[in-house]
Structure 1
Amino acid sequence: MRTGHKRFEVETSTGIMLNSFSYVNDHIGFCGSVKNSPSDFVVTEIDVFGQLLSDTESSCAISETPLEQKSPYQQHHKRLRINTPELGTEDEHCQVDNLSHASEECLSSVKENKERVTKTIPKCGIDDTDVLDSLLSKSVNELLSQFACNVKDAWNSENDQTPYSNEFSLGPIFEKENRACLHSAIRQKFPFLMTVTKNSEIIVKANADYRELCQFVTEEEAYDFFKFLDAKLKTSKFSFKPDENKEHRKTVHHFISKKFGKLLETKSFSVTDFSGQQNTAIMVRFREKTCSRKRPAADCQEKQNLYTAFTLQKENLETLEAIGYLSSELGVLPSDFSYTGIKDKKAITYQAMVVKKVTPERMKEVGTAIVKKGMKVYNIHRVCQHLRLGQLKGNHFDITVRDLGLQQNDSSADVKERISEAIENIQTNGFVNYYGPQRFGQGQNVRTDQIGLALLNEEMVKAVKLFFTPEDTDDPVNQAKKYFLQTEDAKGTLARMPEFKVREKMILRALNRYGVNHEGCTRAWFSLPHSMRIFYVHAYCSKIWNAAASYRFKIYGSKVVEGDLVLSEENVDESSSLNDRVHIVTAPEESASNYTIHQVVLPMVGHSIKYPSNKVGQWYHEILAEDALQTCRFRLSALQLNIPGCYRHILKNVHNLSYRFLEDSKEGIKSEDSCHLDASKASLFLSFDLDPSCYATVCLREIMKCDI
């Protein structure tokens, strides 16, 4: 048994309980029941403009958004977000207060992350310098030019030992159009550089192919060739200077074929110079692209560029389960759907979604078929691109708490007074920003964080068997899971598994093909879309964060102490990385009370984060060692998962909180305005907004001082 710091959580077969976790308020609270029915818990997304998603338009009404006009899902300002990429049940991402959110992978402390304000996308044809000036800050532009000079200086030096950074980051650029413009502008201005995108972050590197070509042709020719290559004008051609050396021409032909053979083709042709002498030159042109024999190329491109947005209303369904139904009805893959966050299951929820390769008319056709599954679709219209996780301002909650009563041994006041006291405290002090238990799988024998830990330890077979561990029910899904664990017969299990269980069937198909061994199970996990694969890993990271937050409050309370991490707002510019903004509190700063508890953040584990330099940091290292992750790189190349980590505020505030009492009577439910509340007949109706990744169940736990 470990004798160090206690892991402050209670683990049971039904999930992670929060009853040992900390509270920030000192009121007594009250009792009640939540989610007696889905209609008692209504969740509505707040879009980036601060508007609630609406279901007031006629169901399945189709509106048109011109492709040249940005949809509301694109028109949002992006500011720095400190967030983990996780599929939570009320929303997916943690974030900094009042900051906007975007990025399929959580923007965390990736090295040299530099956020910049969204700017107008330049039109094609604008000068490269103007493009860079419009999309990059002055300081980043200067650093980019210096990096380019360093690359050329290193190449021109005799021994090529001039020290310079191997790559330069422009930071995350979220708009696809902006990234495309930057890629082109940089390569046009500096053809000897190459650019790549990693999780929306643009990385600039030296172009090794450019330097290699310079060994065969002049640098002027190499410079012009790479400008031609990047411009991608399909009808254009490029010619090298005449070359009478056949072997040398052959070398150039082979170089282009080897490096760009799928894109370019070359041909030697005769030319006559100014003196009338015949010579031979190499001409380069783009290959013609082919599409399906059954469909013209224009149709292929049109389908790839087709995106349809809609509002999804679902009841008593997980988001991924709903996507499974929709993908089956529409004949597309689950990965063709994008959304801003995962919502509660036992609730009525409204959320934005975008599906690609589906027309609005086709989306309308499935509207009637999906009603029996507990879903409706509204506000169907064309858009230009998919949604990103966290691309919302928050969520609005309308919650009814029933069976109101006093806490055990509390007889000093009536329920109404206790509720009023609790509401006042939560509005003033906020709540501890735990991840809710639904993130880990409520009522399940195996939690999602357990599967995530197995994946991080690369125990792929164990992860699959945990995934197929059945619940204590005898429905067809659990019958199929029991059969698989007993027989490891993937093909037989596939026949038994209901069609709507998309994740299970995708894994089973891969297991049937590759076998139930390490390689086969690895391939099975890889068969899932990225968002589903990383869901489990982030569940583990969330569990560690919850326990760390509880431990932090247990030993330090609400006082900001030396070694804490705070988000600094001083000396912030567009070139600042996230880690640059996360500051470690010093002893003098603690004595001077320079920071408040609302500024304190804790890291989500990953490969690029800082840990607190006090006992909390020591706790992180001990807990990772206990889970055999002390040497974990938080990169799973076999599953193409990269977990850089991020930061999450330990306290959050509730917004626009209001409440009223409802009394059940023979005439139905009506508002109760009397001074004394008959708890046996009354319910509490709460309405409030939360930032993305904040859990209403956690907020309610802080209000009521009892587990939900």
Structure 2
Amino acid sequence: MEEDTDFRIRFSSLCFVTDHVGFHGTIKSSPSDFVVIEIDEQGQLVNKASDEPICKVNKLLPEPDTLAKKPKLELQNLSFEEKSSQEVSTLAGCSDDDQNYEPGSEKEDTIKDGTSTCEEEDIDVLGSLLGEKTDELLNQFACDVKEKWNSKTELIGSSPEFSLGRILDKNQRAVLHSAVRQKFPFLITVGKNSEIVVKPNLEYKELCHLVSEEEAFDFFKYLDAKKENSKFTFKPDRNKDHRKAVHHFVNKKFGNLVETKSFPGPNYSADNPNVVITVRFREKTHKHRKRSLDCQERKDIYTAFTLRKENLEMFEAVGFLAIKLGVIPSDFSYAGLKDKKAITYQAMVVRKVTPERLKNIEKEIEKKRMSVFNIRSVDDSLRLGQLKGNHFDIVIRNLRNQINDSANLRERILEAIENVKSKGFVNYYGPQRFGMGRKVHTDQIGLALLKREMVKAVRLFLTPEDLDDPVNRAKKYFLQTEDAKGTLSLMPDFKVRERALLESLHRFGMTEEGCVRAWFSFPHSMRIFYVHAYSSNIWNESVSYRLATYGSRVVEGDLVCLDEDVDDERLPNSRVHLVTEEEESANTYTIHQVVLPVLGYNIQYPKNKVGQWYQEVLSRDGLQTCRFKIPSLKLNVPGCYRKLLKHPCNLSYQLREERNADVKIEGSHIDEATLSLLISFDLDASCYATVCLREIMKHDV
């Protein structure tokens, strides 16, 4: 295969954030040198029930289960706050039973059950974690804010703030965030490098212009508690325009978290048209809504399992499993994509297959370098992103210094790892997202789909590489003839995606409409994968431009994340802040808080040169009017935000010498020893180990 020159140029232009020298080495010498284990939403490794050794790395490094676990918080009387902090990620979108969602005056019960009974505990927590002096100063700060608001005095300059100091333990920070917001709903807390800063909640003040302060106070306590299946009801209101304003405010500020509905209030009549607005937390997107014929839903069978695969592309693995089980690839769901040249462990769910049926094919799939275990019945499918992250055990072989570097190699390696451990790495999307080493990259197909050039997208997908093998001969034949039926006879059975597309083209033809139907032979997760690849590539380019233009300074117009403890890209617009000129001068934020938008229809852009750059790139690619919705393919891309920098967690490493085969020099044999690095770490979901290693080693890997 010819060298992928475009790919090399693309990734050699990416930036570094650290200033060490780095070193050379070889990764992925074999699949067993690169082991990826998914970490589920509970922080557990998905291979935990397996007794088999994962690879040699685990014998020398701490056990993966130990690395994935978070320290437990040792505090007394934290029943409510502890629950709140743990439920932030799971209850924000939890499903409610529509049949149990009745209008009425639930506010008082909700507040009593969720917050009032815990006020003493809030005080205890603040006193025990902050100390008496800091607790007093916090109370004084809260009183000052309320006095200024009550006196109608506008806050001059930047918003006042009060620091609670640095709290190194993440769990303790979560408890403090919750405790402060529950006691003082008119304040917000934000994280800055393990420091918790308290500020006035301007959204609270804005709501007080629409409803009574008592209602605003209770609403923000309800919102922060995130209590499962709870509801909040505003006071009865006869004014339709006023109700509309309240609906608009809540949905604009918190629409990603809650939804509002109006219901007739107590003693409703034509003469007394009082209506109440009820708020509840939104359902998770992956939960099925209640259907009128829910008996059909009960017939669906879901079987969860852990898939272990070795040196196998994920879509190929899913296609093979689908054939053996007699289902289609879209019946499988998973939380994330995994590397090909690796040993990977990931959670999966298959629909319409019983656990017994899956167990029956275990021996057959072993021939394909796959195995399944942890097989069990579950109630629903998985969704992309439904994971905490991934654990990596990696061996880097044949270590050596950079060219013209005569320093001690061991010291160079130690310096590099410790530097990235403390400063992090540029959070680029990795090369495997774009189809490394191929003529056509996945983002090129995604761009064609966004421009609704369906025929072009199909031709790009079926573009052959410069290899003389059955797959590429079949692709070459198709591009020359557009004979889908003839191409099918040439395409090997294991190329499941290509065959599915060709079968559809044979049926519907190589027209725009026929190609739209052909794309539906892929599951939704695969169709949107190509569009996401385009957005990912633009994000990579935007980060390089941002760092080249402004470096590590946080400047006016940058976007920053107000919550440092957010672990994924599901940041609502309300938690993304536009840096002001005053904040730039005061160095209010650090580069670790800066985020950039991943393209979609529901994002805001930076208000500086980076924002202008986005618009220029969209024009360059013919997407200046694109709404990032492709109705014909049922694809909607809302977009999200992604942090510029990330840190590896639970990092450990070990150097060892390896003896290679004897080397013959002038008639005598000597043992040649080379140095290998065994490194283990955890990364958040959607972060790439190869990108982290690139920062450590300071060259493309």
Shorter-chain TM range is 0.5 to 0.7
Match of 2:495 in 1: 501
How far residue 480 of structure 1 moved from its aligned partner, in angstroms, is 1.6
Give the 5 Å matches for 1:527-606. Answer: 527-569=521-563, 578-606=572-600
* Deviation of the 1:123 alpha carbon: 11
User: Identity percentage over the alignment?
Assistant: 54
**1:375 and 2:370 correspond:** yes
CA contact (8 A) 1:173 1:201 kept: no
Question: Which amino acid counterpart does residue 379 of structure 2 have in structure 1?
Answer: C
Q: For residues 231 and 330 of structure 1, what CA distance do their matches in structure 2 show?
A: 28
CA 14–577 in structure 1, closer or farther in 2 if over 3 Å, else same: closer
Deviations 1:638-691 (A, max 9, x none): 1111111110000001111111112223799xxxxxxxxx99522111111111
* Alpha-carbon displacement from aligned partner over 1:19-48 (angstroms, at most 9, x marks no partner): 221111000000011111101100001122
In structure 2, how many angstroms separate the alpha carbons of the residues matched to 1:445 and 1:392? 32
Compute the displacement of 1:550 (Å).
0.7
Deviation at 1:695? 0.3
Q: Report the AA paired with residue 22 of structure 2.
A: G
Alignment map for 1:123-272 (pairs within 5 Å): 129=104, 138=219, 153=240, 171-172=255-256, 200=285
Residue 681 of structure 1: SS of its match in structure 2? strand
When normalised by structure 2's length, the TM-score is: 0.68
Q: Aligned pair in 2 of structure 1 residues 623, 301: CA closer, same or farther (>3 Å)?
A: closer
Q: Contact conserved, 1:405 with 1:679, CA < 8 A, in 2?
A: no
Partner of 1:512: 506
Q: Which residue, out of 28, 36, 39, partners 1:35?
A: 28
Q: Give the paired residue count.
A: 535
Q: CA deviation at 1:146?
A: 6.6
Letter in 2 for 1:332: V
Measured after TM superposition, the shift of residue 497 of structure 1 is 2.1
**Higher helix residue share:** 2
Q: Which runs of 5+ in 1 are unaligned?
A: 1-9, 60-75, 77-97, 103-114, 203-229, 233-262, 264-288, 290-296, 669-677
Instruction: Write out aligned runs for 1:77-92 (5 A).
Output: none
- Cα separation, partners in 2 of 1:525 and 1:201, compared to 1, 3 Å: closer
The alpha-carbon deviation at position 198 of structure 1 amounts to 9.7
Q: Summarize the Cα distance change of 1:505–1:659 in structure 2 as closer, same or farther, 3 Å threshold.
A: same
Match of 1:397 in 2: 392
Is the 1:549–1:602 contact (alpha carbons within 8 Å) kept by the matching residues of 2? yes
Deviating more after overlay: 696-705 vs 580-589:
580-589
Counterpart AA for 1:456: L
The answer to whether 1:337 aligns with 2:300 is no
1:577–1:426 Cα change, 3 Å: closer
Letter in 1 for 2:314: T
Q: 1:173 to 1:504 in 2, by over 3 A?
A: farther
Alpha-carbon distance between aligned partners in 1 of 2:620 and 2:327, rounded to the nearest angstrom: 42
Residue 704 of structure 1 aligns to which amino acid in structure 2?
M
Is the 8 Å Cα contact of residues 232 and 279 (structure 2) preserved in structure 1? no
The answer to whether the aligner puts 1:487 opposite 2:481 as a matched pair is yes
| Aligned partner of residue 409 in structure 1, secondary structure | coil
The answer on whether the counterparts of 1:602 and 1:648 sit within 8 Å (CA) in structure 2 is yes
Which whole-Å CA distance do the structure 2 matches of 1:515 and 1:639 have between them? Answer: 17
User: Residues 313 and 186 (structure 1 numbering): CA distance in 2 closer, same or farther, change over 3 Å?
Assistant: farther
1:311/1:353 contact within 8 Å kept:
yes
Which of the residues 422, 432, 439 maps onto 2:426? 432
Query: Amino acid of the residue matched to residue 36 of structure 2?
Result: V
1:303, distance to aligned residue in structure 2 (A):
3.8
1:518 Cα deviation from its structure 2 partner: 1.2
Secondary structure in 2 aligned to 1:18?
A: helix
For 1:487 and 1:663, locate their aligned partners in 2 and report how far apart those are by CA, in whole Å. Answer: 56
Partner of 1:608: 602
**Residue of 612, 618, 621 corresponding to 2:612:** 618
Q: Which of 656, 664, 669 pairs up with 1:662?
A: 656
Specify the SS of the correspondent of 2:357.
Answer: helix
Q: Distance in 2 between matches of 1:700 and 1:324?
A: 31
Match in the other structure for 1:285: none
Q: Say whether the 8 Å CA contact 2:304–2:377 is kept in structure 1.
A: yes
- How much does 1:523 deviate? 1.7
Matched ranges for 1:88-99 at <5 A: none
Amino acid at match of 2:28: K
Distance 1:134 1:47, change over 3 A: farther
Q: 1:599 to 1:365 in 2, by over 3 A?
A: same
Counterparts in 2 of 1:500 and 1:656: CA distance versus 1, 3 Å? same
1:474 to 457, 468, 471: 468
Which residue identity lines up with residue 348 of structure 1 in the other structure?
I
Name the SS for the 2:373 alignment partner: strand
From the superposition, tell whether residues 194 and 524 of structure 1 become closer, same or farther in structure 2 (CA, over 3 Å). Answer: farther
Partner of 1:418: 412
Change (3 A) 1:154 1:464: same
1:356 aligns with 2:356: no
The separation in 1 between residues aligned to 2:262 and 2:321, in whole angstroms, is: 37
Q: Secondary structure at the match of 2:652?
A: strand
Q: From 42, 53, 74, give the equivalent of 1:49.
A: 42
CA contact (8 A) 1:101 1:391 kept: no
Q: What is the CA deviation profile of residues 399-436 of structure 1, one whole-angstrom value per residue up to 9, with x for unaligned ones?
A: 1111111111111x121110010011011100000000
- Aligned mates of 2:264, 2:381 — CA distance in 1: 25
The aligned residue for residue 700 of structure 2 is 707
CA distance, structure 2, for counterparts of residue 535 and residue 101 of structure 1: 28
Contact 2:447 2:531 in 1 (8 A): yes
- More contact order relative to length (CA 8 Å, sep ≥ 6): 1
Q: CA deviation at 1:117?
A: 3.8
C-alpha contact (below 8 Å) 1:476/1:496 kept by paired residues? yes
- Counterpart of 1:317 in structure 2 is 312
* CA distance 1:54–1:471, shift in 2 (3 Å): same
